[in-house]
Structure 1
């Protein structure tokens, strides 16, 4: 049986396809163009086995996970606090519509203090995170790592299908991107999600745009739009990208330039030669018109959302943009381009913040950094010229790779370059996430060209090893960089270590130290901040809050903060509280707080402090209105109800005070201050059991010496002395040097007749705190119990001499005790003198009136005795002792009259 054979097909080069061959069958023969060495691997036209594709994708995924697995345990740090923990927009209780009215940080876009960063779609992803895991950081970090992994795999696909048309350089570019250390801020820092997600949509929009256009045809000058739906999807993704991160919209500009320079290169080249466009360019013009229309509409919307205001930045944020000389601004901006480029090429020095002195201004032409700028400009010019040469010489493959790299590198970075608008940073590593696509393509292309241009077999192997070494170094650098973003301490400490001349790094670290109570270290770093940058308003303000109350610099620091920044609302607030507390200048404090409220009418703390001052001034109605306003401003803030409850305590409306304290505890069942306040109120109301339960509840939340002291006092006053001893002993473990706790503890020991211990403790208190007058009073009480009345008299005299600020009622009680001591040692005239002074200090002191009457009674001064007995009886009509003494006085008077008649 004969075997049928296929007719031989004509041979043709890989640059041709079947349709080309068929179309040219009857054409005259011409010499076939020779293949050029600059083209990518010819196998790009040959489908890559799926196994190989998935293998490289899998390796990319493994690299991403390997690089960022140690970022999953990170906490909320730096900008995460404001964007997530303090942002109500991510919580389900906030209507979704609010996200589209507020900025990235949760402030109204119309607010003067808004950062004007409008990224609602990114905030929506945070809201989804909160829905599934609330504020558990691991979920947020996991999403960031997943997005980075997806972006890296998508970049591999884009490089293979649209850039290199070859898997090997595509893999190198993807590996470099997946492991690049400059990405740690964007991936490990949760708010960097905006940049990662924007990059993913950037690539997706670009890929969709290319798929909307027909495959290249050598017979056509312009390519038609194969799928208008893909084109609209690409534009839609680009528009969405602007609502994730502002510079994401630049992908639409990238698409336009790529269309003109690559896809429509032949037509544009012919236009440059002839100066005329024919009808065949209509598809390209329609695409450009569509994209430009959407771009204009989006820009109009974005400007409208600014409400006529650009974000307010200061010279602290971006010193170069505030430099007085144009030459300084120009040279510094140019150098910053070099610096960002170097971070992409050699990310050896990385920092979370590059503000305030991190990169000194380039103020002189003689500055050596200008050489780096000139070199950078020269390199970029050469790459651009080479790109143009490729355009004119029809080096399609080289043009596609170089142009794509330049577009990805330059266009997304332009909004952050200060060339068009002032930005709020000097260098921001997460801004480099999208531009790093371009640098990865350029590096991979360079390695690929070296391999192809060499005839020696060893060179490709060396290049491969070199590429793998770079990827390994990037991986190692990323892994050791990630833990820096795990905690606030590690992040801020790294900033101080990396850039010790960065005032902002010292300021942030000082803030952290202040928050955890390491005051001395915080003061040190605030002072270092002011050494590096004396005009840092917030550092002046925060340092003032940490200095001792007696420090004269405190007020100066607050006033300096206001002088530097007249809109610094916290400085007004702190200065007001300081002058009120330590200067007694209530009117000045009131005016300062009013100014703070004028600056920020939502500043609840200012309303609360102003209410407290007005309350102390007796202006109760005004104070109550302010407390009510605080509750309106912050209806979910438990502190607002606690302070309102304290107001009702002051005006002796105990039931209303209880109601407010309970509202506070409803909002925050672990609010220690409210628990202690309501416990004290219960004691005042005579509800001893309720007070005890509330103190115990408070201690279950937090063991505080002050609460233990109050509970110990309750046990003492209810004759549970052993429990009081145990409670005071625990309090002393927490605060062993507290004079008040030691004094109260000594008082309980004296009640248990442990006099020697009590006196020893009180003597120690007096030695350590010579000005603590209350210890002398309790020493007098102990000596009185021991019937050592002379020592008791001496210590009461010391107490009265030391404490000039005693209120009249307390003074009357002390004078009464002194009178009793004199009476016990039969110094009756001194006793009368003390009782008389007690009565003058507090005429309603019934016991003092009675004892004074008794002293006169003993001296047979009947009229004076009767006068004070009657005064005492008016105060306590049912006092049996007074009634008995009055009967004795009547008997004594009758007896004296009888004796007088007999004589």
Structure 2
């Protein structure tokens, strides 16, 4: 009887029955316990965190979620952002991710807005994801190699790039999606390898549909599931296709429901903040996407620095002749070629490559605009196979040097301990940055220095601090910092309305009214119907007008004219401004200017009695001359 080759996969049956004592590192229960402890050590401090960033969009400001059980129906039948911003979202295809919002609604009903409970649930879901992933890798991806399976899951659990997905309450959609997708794959493999009855596909289908209700990532598992069955079962291609059919049916149902509820629009988004490649040529778009792929690799190997924002212009547009773009293209082509050459022998590396490409493809901006060039949470799913491949590479190196199994075990444990120290420090300190929205914004702007959005949000965070601050000196400092970041943002993207709105507010609070008017005028040109800007401009124009009236009452008519003209420079359509300006000019005997002012008032309101009288008085005085 021929011996198994080193690369040949052993049958899963040999590890389904646990034979190792509980205290052994190879015991599944023991491994789960350690994963549980590590997850608490790395993410326990998130329980001290509050709400931050997009949590308002999906919870604290979402009227459906805040309605608790009563809002669940509305959550199911509306876009996920509708409860907060109505139809004012600006992303292709809408967002229908009801599952995470339903969990928030349930929490709100039971405990109100209690962030530590939400963070605890995210942490527990992360742990369970680790347990399911461990079972999947032990049973099928690396059968008969429990320590390698364990090492790959530990690397996944401690990877700092996951901090956004775990620490940001809003990112529960990522956690739920991956958890139920892994359950789907595990059950599918059990059925394919005859460890469960065929009827278990119903459970797998339910899990898959739940994953789709969490986030769109599950769509790519129409590819990943049959690929996984090909690599880790003995099914023929025909049987793989048959077993995969239910998932295609469920995707069809999901798409029908999604389109029926939120519709579908793939129109070009005209706002740069929601379409990062709006100003890029086609070649620049693809060059930049490949550069982003390289950045993803970099973050997998070296997750520093981390930031919540990579929007325009944190990642500048690149050209195809950029050396870094060329390197990225070469790397990815090499991976594809390697995968094609090793498909037939079912190399675990080929599987990792296919899984990674499928996972990253849906968030790559290649097919549709996702609203940002990249995000760290998008590595949550593909990082699984990165950790798996890394462990297998280390094992191959050990075998190359013919190390004993005992020495391999000791070195592996030592390496994991060494990696855990910087990974733990990075994760724990990063969790602290996510403690509050202002802390996150004011910290990450130091990393995302070229991002218009990060600078604007930093300004917003400093402005938010003045609401509870009683110290005038400190308030002034906060406002000056806000102006600094707004100025930077304006240089990056002059037409960013939100930035101009905040910039004007900061100037107005410092009584730099002329500068506030200048900035808000720019904002008004972008959104003429903005009630916020228009109301603020009216407030300042009225202030100037009242100052003018006050100076007039003091017989300081030149000062009165100065202030009323400022009011008119803001609002040229106000009849009273023109009428009173005419009166001031008339008083100092500037008859021509008075005539123009009264005439302008009458153009705006032909029935203005006092303006008519003023114009008659001007003409009478002219006739006397």
Query: Which one has more relative contact order, counting CA pairs under 8 Å at least 6 apart?
Result: 2
Deviations 1:2-45 (A, max 9, x none): xxxxxxxxxxxxxxxxxxxxxxxxxxxxxx33321224689982
Give the Cα separation in 2 of the matches to 1:259 and 1:109.
Answer: 42
Preserved contact between residue 354 and residue 428 of structure 1 (Cα < 8 Å) = yes
Q: Which residue of structure 1 aligns with residue 288 of structure 2?
A: 332
1:444-471 CA distance string (max 9 Å, x none)? 1212222233323456644443344223
Q: What is residue 250 of structure 2 aligned with on the other side?
A: 294
8 A contact 1:107–1:114 mirrored in 2: no
What's 2:493 paired with? 533
CA distance in 2, matches of 1:527, 1:463: 50
Q: Does the 8 Å contact 1:451/1:460 carry over to 2? A: no
Contact 1:352/1:429 (<8 A) preserved = yes
Contact 1:110 / 1:307 at 8 angstroms: preserved in 2?
Answer: no
Q: CA deviation digits over 1:298-332, x for unaligned, max 9?
A: 22332333324348755543665213421111111
| Contact 1:318–1:356 (CA under 8 A) maintained in structure 2 | no
Q: How does 1:645-660 map to 2 (within 5 A)?
A: none
Aligned match for 1:472, one of 396, 421, 426: 421
Residue 135 of structure 1 is matched in structure 2 by 113
Residue pairs, 1:539-554, within 5 angstroms: 539-548=499-508, 551-554=513-516
Question: 1:407 Cα shift?
Answer: 4.1
Aligned length: 524
Q: Match for residue 612 of structure 2?
A: none
Alignment check: 8 A CA contact 2:442 2:461 kept: no
Other-structure match for 2:59: 84
Query: d(CA) in 2 for partners of 1:447 and 1:44?
Result: 25
- Structure 2 partner of 1:57: 32
Mark the CA change 1:578 to 1:422 in structure 2 (over 3 Å): closer, same or farther. same
Helix, strand or coil at the partner of 1:499: coil
- Counting only pairs closer than 5 Å after superposition, residues 340-419 of structure 1 correspond to structure 2 as 340-363=296-319, 365-388=320-343, 391=344, 395-396=345-346, 399=347, 401-419=348-366
Aligned to 2:263, which of 303, 307, 315?
Answer: 307
Instruction: State the secondary structure of the residue aligned to 1:478.
Output: helix
Aligned with residue 522 of structure 1, among 482, 488, 498: 482
Quick check: 1:254 aligned with 2:224? yes
**Per-residue deviation, residues 119-145 of structure 1 (Å, max 9, x unmatched):** 111111111221232112111111111
Residue 308 to residue 56, structure 1, CA distance change in 2 (3 Å) = closer
1:594 is matched with which residue?
Answer: none
Deviation digits for residues 698-746 of structure 1, max 9, x if unmatched? xxxxxxxxxxxxxxxxxxxxxxxxxxxxxxxxxxxxxxxxxxxxxxxxx
Query: What CA distance in whole angstroms lies between the structure 1 residues aligned with 2:128 and 2:524?
Result: 48
Whether the aligned pair in 2 keeps the contact of 1:205 and 1:237 (CA below 8 Å) is: yes
Alignment partners' CA distance in 2, 1:516 and 1:464: 46
1:351 aligned counterpart, secondary structure: coil
Q: In the alignment, does 2:390 pair up with 1:443? A: yes
Structure 1 residues 431 and 311 mapped into 2: Cα distance closer, same or farther (>3 Å)? farther
Q: List runs of 5+ in structure 1 lacking aligned partners.
A: 1-31, 217-225, 269-280, 585-612, 614-903
CA contact (8 A) 2:365 2:373 kept: no
TM-score, normalised via structure 2 length: 0.77
In the TM superposition, residue 579 of structure 1 has moved relative to its aligned partner by 4.2
Q: What is the DSSP-based 3-state SS (H/G/I as helix, E as strand, rest coil) of the residue aligned with 2:131? A: helix
Q: Give the match for residue 457 of structure 2.
A: 508
Counterpart-to-counterpart distance in 2, 1:89 and 1:304: 19
Asked if residue 122 in structure 1 is aligned to residue 93 in structure 2, the reply is: no
Q: 1:506 to 1:171 in 2, by over 3 A?
A: same
Structure 1 residue 60, shift from structure 2 partner: 0.7
CA deviation string 1:657-685 (max 9, x = no partner): xxxxxxxxxxxxxxxxxxxxxxxxxxxxx
Taking structure 1 as reference, are residues 386 and 350 closer, same or farther at Cα in structure 2, changes over 3 Å only?
farther
Conserved 8 A contact 1:523-1:546: yes
Q: Which residue number corresponds to residue 67 of structure 1?
A: 42
Give RMSD over aligned pairs: 2.9
Greater Cα shift, 300-309 or 54-63: 300-309
TM-score (norm. length: structure 1): 0.54
Q: Is contact 1:75–1:486 with CA below 8 Å preserved after alignment?
A: yes
Q: Which residue, out of 188, 210, 216, partners 1:240?
A: 210
Structure 2 partner of 1:15: none
- 8 Å CA contact retained: 1:181, 1:477: yes
Counterpart among 78, 97, 102 of residue 73 in structure 2: 97
For the structure 1 residues 178 and 567, does the alpha-carbon distance in structure 2 shift closer, same or farther, using more than 3 Å as the test? Answer: farther
**Residue 74 (structure 1) shift:** 0.5
| In 2: Cα distance, 1:478 partner to 1:408 partner | 25
Return closer, same or farther for 1:489/1:49 CA change in 2, 3 Å cut-off: same
The answer to whether the 8 Å contact 2:58/2:170 transfers is yes
3-state SS, counterpart of residue 273 of structure 2: coil
Q: Confirm or deny: 8 A CA contact 1:252 1:291 kept in the other structure.
A: yes
Cα deviation digits, residues 748-806 of structure 1 (max 9, x gap):
xxxxxxxxxxxxxxxxxxxxxxxxxxxxxxxxxxxxxxxxxxxxxxxxxxxxxxxxxxx
- Identify the match of residue 190 of structure 1 among 165, 169, 193: 169
Residues 370-425 of structure 1, C-alpha deviation per residue, up to 9 Å, x if partnerless? 2331342144224413432xx1xxx45xx3x3344234322232221111111111
Q: How does 1:256-271 map to 2 (within 5 A)?
A: 256-260=226-230, 262-263=232-233, 267-268=236-237
| Residue of structure 1 in register with 2:278 after alignment | 322
Q: How does 1:866-885 map to 2 (within 5 A)?
A: none
Partner residue in 1 for 2:3: 34
Q: SS state of the match for residue 416, structure 1? A: coil
Instruction: Give the SS at the match of 2:513.
Output: coil
Does the CA contact (< 8 Å) of 1:254 and 1:411 recur in 2? yes
Contact 1:256–1:288 (CA under 8 A) maintained in structure 2: yes
Cα distance 1:488–1:288, how it changes in 2: closer, same or farther (>3 A)? closer
Provide the C-alpha distance between the structure 2 equivalents of 1:108 and 1:529, rounded to a whole number of angstroms: 26
In structure 1, how many angstroms separate the alpha carbons of the residues matched to 2:75 and 2:529? 27
Shifted more, 450-459 versus 72-81: the winner is 450-459
